[in-house]
Amino acid sequence: MANRTDNSPLRHTWIRGISGLAIGTFFLWLTLRKTSWEQVSTILSQANLGWLLAAVGFYAINMVVRILRWRRLLWNVKILSFGKLIGWFTFFIEQTIININFSLAIWLFRLTIFRRSFNLRIIISVLKRPS
């Protein structure tokens, strides 16, 4: 009998990724369904390409710095690969773009998933304002 490798963690990653993309696509569609594409085209054609490229560049640099910061913060707990953190930050950005990340419950949910995904032994605590 040949040894079979267990692909369930990989399968769960794919399922989670595809479901995240599906949910993000649905909310993007809800956001953009009544957009006037002619007006968007007119506005973009009047924009300065240099400033748009600079904005995208700074955004990319910002993401790399944030990923490296989180990697360093968690270094003593567990060494995480840059590639895995890119996936998590992409997930967070997707939710930021569709404006559902401002709820404390969403943040706690995402931190719990993050902790479980990387098998981190850290406790998530919420500080309460003193009465």
Listing DSSP states for 29-66 in one string gives HHHHTT--HHHHHHHHHHS-HHHHHHHHHHHHHHHHHH
Does 30 reside within a domain?
no
Give how far the C-alpha of residue 1 lies from the chain's centroid of Cα atoms, to the nearest Å: 41
pLDDT bin (cut points 50, 70, 90) of residue 98 is low
pTM over the 0.75 mark: no
Does 12 reside within a domain?
no
DSSP one-letter code for 99: T
CA distance 94 to 20: 9
Does 15 reside within a domain?
no
3-class DSSP state of 81: coil
Query: What pLDDT is attached to residue 128?
Result: 44
Asked if residue 81 lies in contact with residue 127, where contact means CB atoms within 8 angstroms, the answer is no
Does 131 reside within a domain?
no
Does 79 reside within a domain?
yes
pLDDT bin (cut points 50, 70, 90) of residue 1 is very low
Asked if residue 105 lies in contact with residue 126, where contact means CB atoms within 8 angstroms, the answer is no
What the block records as the tokens of 106 is 């969403």
User: 85: domain range?
Assistant: 43-121
Does 107 reside within a domain?
yes
Does 75 reside within a domain?
yes
Does 23 reside within a domain?
no
Query: What pLDDT is attached to residue 126?
Result: 46
Amino acid letter for position 43? I
Top pLDDT among 19 and 107 is at 19
Model pLDDT for residues 58-97, shown as the tens digit of each residue: 988 888 888 888 788 778 877 777 777 777 776 666 555 5
Q: How many domains are contained in the chain?
A: 1
